[in-house]
Structure 1
Amino acid sequence: MNKIKYIIVFIIIIGAWVAWYYFWGREKPLDYETVSAKLGNISQEINVTGKIIPLDKVELAFEKGGRIVKINADVGDTVSRGWILAELDNSELLAEISQKKSQVKAEEARLEELKRGSRPEELKILEVKVENAKALLEDAEKNMIDKIQDSYTKSDDAIRNKIDQLYSNPRTKSPTLTVYDPGAYQTRQELETGRVVIEGILVEWNSELAGLVSSQDLSPALLNAKTRIGEINKFLEKIALLVNGLTPSSSLSQTTINTYRSDTATARANVNTALGNLTSADEKMRSAKSAVVLAENELFLKQVGAAVETISAKEAELEYAQASVASVLAQLQKLVLRSPINGIVSGTFAKIGEIIAANKVIFSLISDNEAEVEANIPEVDIAKIKKGDTALITLDAYGVDTEFEAELGMIDPAETIIEGVATYRATFQFLVPRTSSDPQSNSGVEGVKKDGRIKPGMTANISVKGPSRENVLVLPQRAVISKNGNRFVRVLNGKEIFETEIKTGLRGSDGNVEITEGLKDGDIVILFQK
């Protein structure tokens, strides 16, 4: 009986030892995946989808609005350069031409009358005409003063009411910009310095307004006003760039940002309106001055009689009237829409009898020459390509077996936002072998020759060859760890793991990255560890 007990106890002890060894006593194997750093080739390749567009594509519109009376082409029609596509109603201009021609005849009659001499009654009429012209000039000068004062008022409101909410102590010599990008120190300094300059402009401008009277030469005041508005506009442009780049934070809500943007836009619009008003007032004043000069000249001609110089002046006025006729005839030509190229009508957007606005597109034309490919390159890939890079293009219409060689011709410097992602428009020109009959044979290929297979609107699959490296140390990108702006890998040496700082170069399209420093050929690097 005791023997059985000893056996049972022995078995229990052995089982306990086995269990302890299995769960705690033995060395557990490490569970990770490794890769060796090795020499190899690495390259970048950008793949995007684009669309074929014609090299020459124009959208045509009338410079003036009006009612369409003729349409001479439809979609699909082939037209030549100079072909009349459409015409607007020209009845008003024809009437104006008749009026201008009548003025020419009147000037001719006055010239003849001048040569005959003048009567006292005629001199009196001309004197009244001079007085009326001077009265209109005085009104125009008063209007100019009003517009100069209004431009100051709008500028003052734009800066001191709309923009000064972005500053503390804005009217002092040390304004502080309270809303800015912390990383844009130079921009902040420029805007603070600019506010001091603008304050000086406003103060000096206001002090000059009290001395404006219509009897003085207003040209210097007008020039100063335009110059000052120009400086204020430049300042507002910089403010617009600042507020449009703001993002919400704990101290700046989106509502506040929207208010800043709205006020800045209003300020710019008001200042531009003031500038436009000054220009209109200037034109009105110049016209009034011209009317005074003209009336005085007419009176002078009547007073001095048929002097040679007087007759010459009247002849000049006759030429001016004749030029007015020519000007209306030129406007009449603008009521006729002609094709600027040899091509095909791809769209018509108006009907006979329709009243259209100026600059509304009426026709679109495409050339029947070779096309190019347009694509949008994502911002993550834009640094990998440059003008002149070669590309291979396949068209969905012909499958992947038919390839076309192309060259990257242009990259738009301005971004295009597509579904929230910044992209950059690029165009590719097809390259084909140069024919032996081509007189220019300095190179093996040339851009853009006729190929009947390529048609506008086709979908193009583009593969752009980027930079490459040969016989360099490469490693899978997923083995690289980023910490605090530096890059590291975990190197396995025997059973020990060391974290080693590295420097990387080119990132390949296959998921590998070039290692420029920190590793050598054959080093074992951990990819993944459980």
Structure 2
Amino acid sequence: MSKKTIVILLLVLFVGIIVYLFFGRGKPPEKEFFVVEKQDLVREISVVGKVKPAESLDLALERTGVLTGVFVETGDKIERGTLLARLDISDAEKTIKDAEVGLENAKLALDKINLQQEQLLRGDTLNKNYEDGLTILSSFYDETTAILNSLDDILFEATLEEEKQNIEYYAEYDEQFSNEPKRLWRLYQEAENLNKDGLIDYQVAKRGEGDATRKAINSGQSLTVKLAEIIKSTRDIIRYLQDYFVEEDLVHEKQSIISSHANTLSQYDLVIDDYLKNLTTIVNAINDYYDRIESLPLDVRTQELLVKQRENELADAKNNLAKYFLYSPINGVVASLDLKRGEIVTANVPVIELISSSQFEIVADIYEEDIVKIEIGAPVEISLPAFPKETFKGRVIFIGTAEKIIDRVVYYEARIVFDEDLPKGIKPTMTADVVIQSERRKNVLVIPEEAVKKTDEKTTVEVFQDGEVKEKEIEVGLEGDDDMVEVVSGLEEGEEVILE
């Protein structure tokens, strides 16, 4: 093959790779995507009402409380938005302050968790525990090897009776110890294997290979547990024999050997117990570190949700404060006034009567599930079929408390006033199509409702990221009337979600 041919083949291969990288790893076929963006989101309620001559309007405060201010008198001409009366707001202000403190505490707790996460990820505490563990192990295996050799002599040599292991001799003094020789032999073999494997783990850990340090420390702790069990069991058997000699006032011919065994085991018990306490403390600290690393994302998410909850509580407290004030929803005249400063006013009991300066208003019956979404003062867009080319602005000025049953369905009356001059020719009983704005979010992240998957446990979307389809858990907020949904958390602007 000529040099020129080789060059051409390499060029073809290079072009093929480029084409694959730019075109071969594209988006999944037959999938529609939506780029997460910020929009204003509105929820609206559409109903049909009737034009009627404007009636007087009875106003009531939304809270029970002590009246601290009355700012109008009978006969006063007023404009929409005029402050008419107010209640004592000290309790409401305290609620706001408490909510502000609660929010600040939640934010501080979140900052603390984030700081803990940074510190944990940095690994300072973990590295210190690793260093302490390796320091302990540096002399540990020299001692455990010596202890195992000594235990071999104490247990399995025949220094008390010829052709009989010492542990067999000790165990013969009571039937309760009949199985101990075999059990201690098994434990001893396990301890020897742990000692051999643990020493290898320690040597690997000194070279700093992967998670070897954690494994070495765990191996050392496992060995101390095994040795502690052997030492305790052997001491219990020998002490039983020693107590028997004391009770029977006997002196064993090899009392010195028995005493030496007992004393040696007592010394080993202190040494191993010290190692066991220190290594167990380090093992627990390391395990706690990894448990914290695993749980921290959930802790952060939980605290973020708590901050959101506290923000909502503060917003609710501020919204509640507005209910201690009574404003005029219309332009008009104060017809009557049943208010005196210092008296206690009951919620939802009419205290002021206004006569509207407008000639007409709209009365509409609102379905019970929708009426709870509407507030006094909500903006309204009005269309009159008699004037098809015009649209009028208005607002809700009254929401009734008495239900109406229409075809066995519960409705409540709402009254809407026009905010602008009306055309000539408008008549009572004309039909009015009204769109009431019940809620609005400005400049929030939104996605189409069809991209959202909801289960009993979580809300998710699928996103196209790094050439792959991935599932992400999200929190949604307001659902708009244009089939768009507010994204409170879980997505960022510019991400691509897959539509179902």
In the superposition, the TM-score normalised over structure 1's length comes to: 0.30
Larger Rg computed on CA atoms? 2
